[in-house]
């Protein structure tokens, strides 16, 4: 009986180590599997700048990484911008519009390396700020932020996210 109790205690102890070891291995694997997105070649991003009154004709668009490091900048031309992103630029990046006539900066977060057209407007700014507050500019956070900040008819939502193209339907957050 004494040996049975000791054997049981030993088995419970060993299995708790095995389970702990498995859990740690899975966490490491998930972290190690994170996919880093980047532009593998120089890419041109373009789009329209607008506010609640319409297209904003003049100003500057700064391209920065998450830490605020300037990657490139360009002047807005009649409400449009077109900016070159160097090869090997790691995503996410931010497109920030500013002008002398407005104290408010407008932002959009770029998380997808295949989309090249990005609007910058109050909706994209709200979504980017909400995603950042949720923990960063990930696809999941951007979708959740868009769902919480932009009115979307239930017919356009699914259990996995958006139905249709969120880049053109819901604020242009991409």
Same-domain check for residues 52 and 103: yes
Residue 168 has a pLDDT of: 47
Residue 174 domain-assigned (yes or no): no
Q: Which residue has the higher pLDDT, 14 or 78?
A: 78
Q: Evaluate if residue 162 carries a pLDDT over 70.
A: no
Same-domain check for residues 30 and 43: no
Q: Which residue has the higher pLDDT, 97 or 155?
A: 97
What value does the mean pLDDT of the chain take? Answer: 78
- Domain extent, residue 159, equals 38-169
Q: Evaluate if residue 19 carries a pLDDT over 60.
A: no
Q: What is the mean pLDDT of residues 123-137?
A: 95
Same-domain check for residues 132 and 66: yes
Write down the pTM of the prediction. 0.69
Q: What is the pLDDT of residues 31-86, one digit of tens each?
A: 445 678 999 999 999 999 999 999 999 999 999 999 999 999 999 999 999 999 99
Q: Evaluate if residue 104 carries a pLDDT over 60.
A: yes
Residue with tokens 């003049």: 58
Residue 127 has a pLDDT of: 95
Q: Cis peptide before 6, with omega less than 30 degrees from 0?
A: no
- Least confidently predicted of 4-8, 52-56, 69-73, 117-121: 4-8
Same-domain check for residues 45 and 89: yes
Same-domain check for residues 92 and 131: yes
Domain count, the chain: 2
Same-domain check for residues 69 and 149: yes
Same-domain check for residues 17 and 84: no
- The CATH number of the domain holding residue 45 is 2.60.40.1120
Same-domain check for residues 87 and 154: yes
Main-chain dihedrals φ then ψ at residue 33, nearest 5 degrees:
-90, 0
């Amino acid at each position: 009986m004494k040996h049975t109790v000791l054997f049981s205690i030993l088995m419970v102890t060993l299995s708790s180590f095995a389970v702990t070891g498995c859990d740690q291995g899975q966490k490491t694997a998930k972290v190690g599997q994170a996919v880093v997105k980047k532009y593998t070649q120089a890419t041109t991003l373009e789009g329209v700048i607008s506010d609640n009154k319409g297209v904003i004709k003049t100003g500057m668009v700064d391209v920065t990484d998450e830490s605020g490091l300037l990657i490139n900048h360009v002047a807005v031309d009649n409400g449009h911008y077109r900016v070159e992103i160097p090869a090997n630029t790691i995503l996410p990046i931010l497109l920030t519009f500013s002008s002398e006539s407005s104290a408010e900066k407008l932002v959009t977060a770029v998380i997808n390396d295949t989309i090249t057209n990005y609007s910058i407007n109050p909706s994209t700014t709200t979504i980017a700020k909400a995603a950042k507050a949720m923990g960063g500019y990930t696809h999941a956070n951007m979708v959740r932020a868009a769902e919480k900040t932009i009115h979307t008819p239930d017919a356009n939502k699914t259990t996995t996210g958006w139905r249709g193209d969120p880049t053109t339907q819901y604020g242009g957050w991409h």
